[in-house]
Structure 1
Amino acid sequence: MAVLKFKSKGVEVKKLQQNLKDLGYKIAVDGDFGNGTKSVVIRFQKDNNLSPDGIVGSNTQSVIDFLLAENPIYGIDISHHNGAINFNKINWEIIKFVFCKASQGKTFKDNMLHSYFSELKRLNIFRGVYHFMTFKDVSASNQVNNFLNCGVDFTENGVLPPVLDLEWQQSPALNNYIMQNKSTCIQKAKDWLTKVEAATGRIPIIYTANSFWRDYFAASADFSRYPLWLASYNRNSPVIPTGWTDYKIWQFTEGGTIEGLVGNVDKNVFNGSMNDLKKLANF
């Protein structure tokens, strides 16, 4: 294939522009590879962990082809770090689900949750919430109470199952605590999952990364009944942690960009059909 870059013109450029538009990018389809097209190409490359040089060679084109062939179901996850979001500007033809941070540890509740969630409900978008687990000096029961007190109705149509975020903590000392107390931390996660399932009637999802699971959770295989939301920032098929055979959701970048949202955002792809997503969301 021809390499497309700044000042390229013609049918191939027009096809590239249409492909990027089909993937949700705002771009003029005019056959002219100008500054606008170069800017969108760089954004696409950053979103997909490619070298952001603004040149469409074989690597960039292969990712475009892959995304178009797979017809993926995309989602994002957000928190107060994303600030004010113009939900009316998001391309909901591309983004089909959103997870919001609800809580962390014993007392922290995300102050943007209710604003985000009410907008998503207004727009009838599949939506869910997650709890970031703290492992030291906080019981599972206290964290369950904090999460459930966020006021999300998990029986409502369009609401995805609760999520437990199991990952690196905010300091090396806290990560070292997990390393030195693996069995205690694994049991704390099990207790949270069991109690939340009993309270909501929904089987929770586990969010984690393979390297965290391997190093800190001793590659535990005791969680296989819970759907896996896997963080893996590369375009190759991610390595599945011990205990699972596949993922339900793949978070493939933390540096995505979308219209309506300032700065970077985590982007995800759902492993299944639209009917599968609807079923997961009580729809």
Structure 2
Amino acid sequence: MPVHRPASPRPRPLFLTGVLTAVFALLSIAPASAAESPDATATPTRGTARMGMGVVAHDGQGGLPAGTRAAQTEGVDVSSYQGNVAWTTLWNSGVRWAYTKGSEGTYYTNPYFSQQYSGSYGVGMIRGAYHFATPDTTTGATQANYFVDHGGGWSADGRTLPGTLDIEWNPYGDSCYGKTKSAMVSWIRDFLNQYKARTGRDAVIYTSTSWWTQCTGNYAGFAANPLWIARYASTVGTLPAGWSTYTMWQYTSSGPTVGDHDRFNGALDRVQALAKG
């Protein structure tokens, strides 16, 4: 008696098999890839903040200045984001001063600080250090001490700039670090007073007009401190209250290779004058 076998399935056309295979592959990979991809809006890890990070996120990256004025001197600011910096290349491109991130809060120091701070000095630049403020973690005076103790001091060698307080949009949470306007002004004052007590110098204040207006109520009482304004546009625009002029201008955030670019509002002799005090 003949054996009856079920009919063989009709073969799919080769092109249809390929399409189905590709679709199934995409369906199986897509969820995993989405889970593994970094979220651009995710809160960054503590310690990774760098000068201008909050400015870019809040105010955006605008146009660049039309040209370099003869009365301005080019500079850069760097952090661990740049790693080991090619200082000779920057010097040859016309950069004459630099700031390196020294610390953040009381929990972080830049692992590349020595290469960056000493390296810029080694090629002939006038250098300084900055502290990324986190007013929601410890007091202003405590952070000023931490900064000075971890590279933020000043020396009268003619090539060391006073330390900078980087106070800007909070990349880790509430824009104003959960503080009222008056409480923020008090925190900044505590930092500045302690820094001057430790070093004899007025710290530079780095900020954006938008943040300063929102989080300090556009307080006008710190005009004795040099202003480093952050604005990524063709002009510096309106300055925070109290300052009639700026000392430095961060005009672009260029990324991991060369750092953020800045201009000192004056020729090289004015940079030297600020270093000498």
Question: If the length of structure 1 is used for normalisation, what is the TM-score?
Answer: 0.70
Q: Are 2:85 and 2:115, in contact at CA under 8 Å, matched by a contact in 1?
A: no
Contact 2:103 2:131 in 1 (8 A): yes
* SS of residue in 1 equivalent to 2:174: helix
SS, match of residue 91 in structure 1 = helix
Q: What is the letter of the counterpart of residue 139 of structure 2?
A: S
Secondary structure in structure 2 of the residue aligned to 1:173:
coil
- 5 Å matches for 1:235-254? 235-254=234-253
Note the 1:32-111 alignment, pairs <5 A.
49=63, 63=66, 66-67=67-68, 70=70, 72-92=72-92, 94-111=94-111
* Deviation of the 1:174 alpha carbon: 5.5
Unaligned runs of 5+ in 1: 1-46, 51-61, 257-261
Match of 2:120 in 1: 120
2:223 maps to amino acid: S
Change in Cα spacing, 1:114 to 1:182, as seen in structure 2 (3 Å) is: same
Q: d(CA) in 1 for partners of 2:164 and 2:100? A: 10
Q: Compared with structure 1, are the counterparts of its residues 238 and 122 closer, same or farther at alpha carbon in structure 2 (3 Å cutoff)?
A: same
| Higher relative contact order, structure no. (Cα contacts within 8 Å, ≥ 6 residues apart) | 2
CA 1:48 to 1:136, structure 2 compared with 1: closer, same or farther past 3 Å? Answer: closer
Matching residue of 1:42: none
Structure 1 residue 135 displacement after superposition:
1.2
Q: Number of aligned residue pairs: give it.
A: 216
Match of 2:209 in 1: 210
RMSD: 2.2
Gaps of 5+ in 2: 1-60
Give how far 1:264 is off: 5.5
Report what 1:225 is aligned to: 224
Conserved 8 A contact 1:254-1:264: no
Deviation at 1:145, TM superposition (A): 2.0
Alignment check: 8 A CA contact 2:153 2:163 kept: no
Equivalent residue number for residue 167 of structure 2: 166
Offset of 1:99 from its aligned partner?
A: 0.4
Identity %: 27
- The letter for the 2-side match of 1:269 is R
The counterpart of 1:263, out of the listed 250, 257, 265, is: 257
CA distance in 2, matches of 1:172, 1:183: 19
Provide closer, same or farther for how the CA distance between residues 154 and 133 of structure 1 changes in structure 2, counting only shifts above 3 A.
Answer: same
SS of 2:197's partner is helix
Contact 1:109 1:146 in 2 (8 A): no
Cα distance in 2 for partners of 1:160, 1:92 equals 21
In the alignment, structure 1 residue 134 sits paired with structure 2 residue 128:
no
8 Å contact kept, 1:136–1:174? no
Q: Indicate if the aligned counterparts of 2:128 and 2:160 stay in contact, CA closer than 8 A.
A: yes
